[in-house]
Amino acid sequence: MTRYTATALAHPNIAFIKYWGNRDAALRLPVNGSISMNLEGLFTRTTVSFQPSLAFDELVINGREVTGPGLERVSGILEVVRQAAGIPFRAEVLSETNFPTGAGIASSASAFAALALAAVKAAGLSWSESAISRLARRGSGSACRSIPGGFVEWQMGAGDDDSFAVSIAPPSHWDLADCVAVVSSGHKATGSTEGHALAPTSPLQSARVADAPRRLEICRRAILERDFGSLSAIIELDSDMMHAVMMTGQPALFYWKPATLAVMEAVRAWRRDGLQAAYTVDAGPNVHVICPQSEMDAVTTLLREIPGVTQVLRATVGGPARLF
């Protein structure tokens, strides 16, 4: 008997080369490729059950029922799966995330990756990794990068069919870590869906996009050659370029707090003193400090000394989304 139920687990990821701006907002087709690292130890676990008795899709996140736009976004993914599998049933979606929201790690990547994998399996479809990555992309662009494992590249592609993520190296390839300096746990003012739409209003966005293939190439090579010096320079440049675009759009988005800049400056000073560490900042004020795992404790201790840093979350390199 078909049970129409499956549970999947996916990690969030931190982008080294950022995705910012869509050329098709509905399909979430990006204006540039991106590269990221999955974050081990942090995860979303989601169960999808298609049930003949349900009149509507139901969504429960960390024990709380979600309706409105959040549910609609999830139903959009379920609808793609229902049509592909020929299943008429609505679904119950139960999701749990083990890291605090508002801690500077986007839960939408792990959430939509786990949802896509669980929904495809619950419907009995035998889809390839790239097909599941494409589906996750439609929920949240960065979610497509949480389907493959380790160090991952989202190839922007020419359309829906070839815009998906692939692993460029497994987690064991390079013992890196992400120490997240939390400087504010308040919810961000402007979410990334809205932010992507504002990207073209900055006169700097076209230059950022035009230069993306060069940054991707440097980042890819730095990962393959485990070259921390090149990686540091390119991820800091890429993060600064994205924030320059954010700050110069209309309306301008300022995600940084004073402590954000304090951490960024400290990381550069530590590097001058010989510590291997580099910063990258997403659509929020918290700073992700990338370092070799051997430097994690030193980085954590130093971060905790900076006024305004309230918490440090740590993660190593995570594997692919998987059935649970």
Query: Interaction with ligand PMV in 125-164: which residues (CB under 6 A)?
Result: 140-142
Q: Which is nearer to ligand PMV, 7 or 108 (CB)?
A: 108
Contacts (Cβ under 8 Å, ≥6 apart) of 126: none
Give CA–CA dist 94/65, Å, rounded.
Answer: 9
The residue count for binding ligand PMV (CB under 6 A) is 15
Interface with ligand PMV, residue 108, by CB under 6 A: yes
Q: Which of 7, 8, 12, 18 binds ligand PMV (CB under 6 A)?
A: 18
| 282 is a contact residue toward ligand PMV (CB under 6 A) | yes
Q: Is 289 in the site for ligand PMV (CB under 6 A)?
A: no
Rounded least distance, CB 246 to ligand PMV, Å: 9
Least gap, CB of 9 to ligand PMV (angstroms): 19
Identify the helix (H) or strand (E) that includes residue 51.
Answer: strand 44-51
Cβ neighbours for 20, distance < 8 A, ≥ 6 positions apart: 31, 32, 195, 196, 199, 205, 208, 242, 245, 246
Helices (H), 183-324: 192-198, 205-210, 212-224, 228-247, 258-272, 296-304
In the list 7, 130, 163, 192, the residue contacting ligand PMV (rule: CB under 6 A) is 192
Q: Which of 156, 79, 69 is nearest to 116 (CA)?
A: 79
19 binds ligand PMV (CB under 6 A): yes
Nearest to 115 by CA among 89, 140, 83: 140
Determine if 107 is a binding residue for ligand PMV (CB under 6 A): no
Residue 209, amino acid: V
- Give the nearest distance from C-beta 271 to ligand PMV in angstroms: 23
> Rg of the Cα trace of the chain?
19
Nearer to ligand PMV, 113 or 302 (CB): 113
Q: How far is the CB of 228 from ligand PMV (least distance, A)?
A: 21
CB of 139 to ligand PMV, least distance (A): 9
DSSP 3-state helix, strand, coil percentages of the chain (rounded to 5)?
A: 40, 25, 35
What is the closest distance, in whole angstroms, from the C-beta atom of residue 312 to ligand PMV in the complex? 19
Please report whether residue 46 would count as binding ligand PMV according to CB under 6 A.
no
Phi, psi of 60 (to 5 degrees): -125, 120
Residue number with CB closer to ligand PMV (27 or 298)? 27
∠ CA 225-226-227, rounded to 5°: 90
**What is d(CA 321, CA 323) in angstroms, rounded to the nearest whole number?**
7
Q: Tell me the window of 13-21, 85-93, 159-167, 287-295 that interacts with ligand PMV (CB under 6 A).
A: 13-21
d(CA 136, CA 119): 10
Q: Which of 8, 15, 198, 209 binds ligand PMV (CB under 6 A)?
A: 15
184 CB-near residues (< 8 Å, 6+ apart): 257, 259, 284, 285, 286, 310
Contact pattern from residue 51 through residue 90 relative to ligand PMV, giving x for each residue in contact according to CB under 6 A and a dash for the rest:
----------------------------------------
- What is the smallest separation between the CB atom of 323 and ligand PMV, expressed in angstroms? 23
Q: Which H or E element spans position 254? A: none
Using the contact rule CB under 6 A, the part of the chain among 74-82, 189-197, 213-221, 268-276 near ligand PMV is 189-197
Residue 225 identity (one-letter amino acid): E
Binding site for ligand PMV (CB under 6 A): 15, 18-20, 34, 106, 108, 140-142, 192-193, 196, 282-283
